[in-house]
Structure 1
Amino acid sequence: MIRALILAFNQLTDPRSRRVVWIGVLSAAAAYGLLAAAVWWALFHTPLTGYAWVDWMLDLLGGLVVLVLAWILFPSTVGVLSSFFLDEVLERVEARHYPHLPAPRRTGLTEELLTGLRFLAVVLGVNILALPLYLMAPGLNLVVFYVVNGYLLGREYFELVAIRRMGAREARDLRRAKPLKPFSAGVIIAFLSTIPFVNLLVPVVASAFMVHVFQSMRGPLRQGG
């Protein structure tokens, strides 16, 4: 597992893999910049109470809420936007470390879009449902966070990688037959997601990491070149 993680971080030396990082970061920054500008414009041009000082305070608070939410959700948005380009990362990892593999099953734009939307829906949905658990005593809430997100991220990244090499049912069967590795990898990914700035690299690193985890589940980890 440690070796797979080291290989995943080494993948950032590949220019095309770094390109996916920048696409996700810049796309998310542009999206949030436009959203923040639109919200600020709407707040400052819409009188809410008729009292200037009250409206000013509400505008200020509303703008701060938008900025805070943008900061909190920014890494998740980077992940979702990057997910549409992760096939390129997976191809680079396989070409570098597993050149013996045959060409993967191709996925269409619709399937990639649905994968990205499902990833967003699952992560946000389960975390919203688990929100009361996060409010537990310090320490216990961290355990809940890593268990929940470890399972989700491990499952989603594993299936993202596995369905390129086998059918969806076979991928699920393999994950259920050997659940510890995807779950452990998911916990590591969840931990990396909580580190500022490192979390912006997570989509690319996690995808490369899971390629090595998946291949180790199919057989011995082999490197080419």
Structure 2
Amino acid sequence: MHQLYKYDIYIFDCDGVILDSNKLKILAMKDALESIENIKDGIDSSIEYFTNNFGLSRYHHVNEFSSKFLSYYGLSKIELEKTILNNYADFLDKHYVKSEVIAGFEQIASTVNGLMYVASGSEQNQLRRVLEKKNISICFKGIFGSPTKKYEIIRNVLDEVGENKKAVMIGDSIADLDAAKANHIDFIGISDYSNTPDLLREKCTLYGYRVINNWHEIGTKVYG
């Protein structure tokens, strides 16, 4: 039996794990920044940071942009961040639902026996709307996103179900790995859609976590 099937609780990231949406999110953030005429410099650095630190909330990223990378004029830091967040949300409201469900996920969702949750860096209400429109929200006992931090979401889920349950976080980013590690649960990395696949594999190897390329490997790899 594949190692995936031994858990009571399954906590999934969304982007790059359930939905093929990582590239869309990067495009959305680039569009959000480039739409603001008051920004003079720092967009490329912001997008690089966003890409390499995927899995953290938009609120974290935008604060990092305005604090460390962006040069702008005529707007306060609060005004700038609000404008970026609004532009980003508007773009995703139009396009996020178009993201495809990653091949193999629905088969996995139908075969695991434990309770399933989503813990994502995506904004919670927007995330719930998209998964509902995709007709897969019914798979999950709970769907949670930002502004609550991912490690806090996992902590809340564990508090709800009881700590005697065996739980796993499945994600494609270092933020996902860190959130699992902070809560002392297992982690499985999935690399095909990750923005940082080599780093993900390196960190999984370092901490003794499993890595798969994609959901189709579940049917072909067996762990003792």
Q: TM-score, normalised by structure 2?
A: 0.33
Q: TM-score, normalised by structure 1?
A: 0.33
Larger radius of gyration: 1
Q: Higher strand fraction: Structure 1 or Structure 2? A: 2
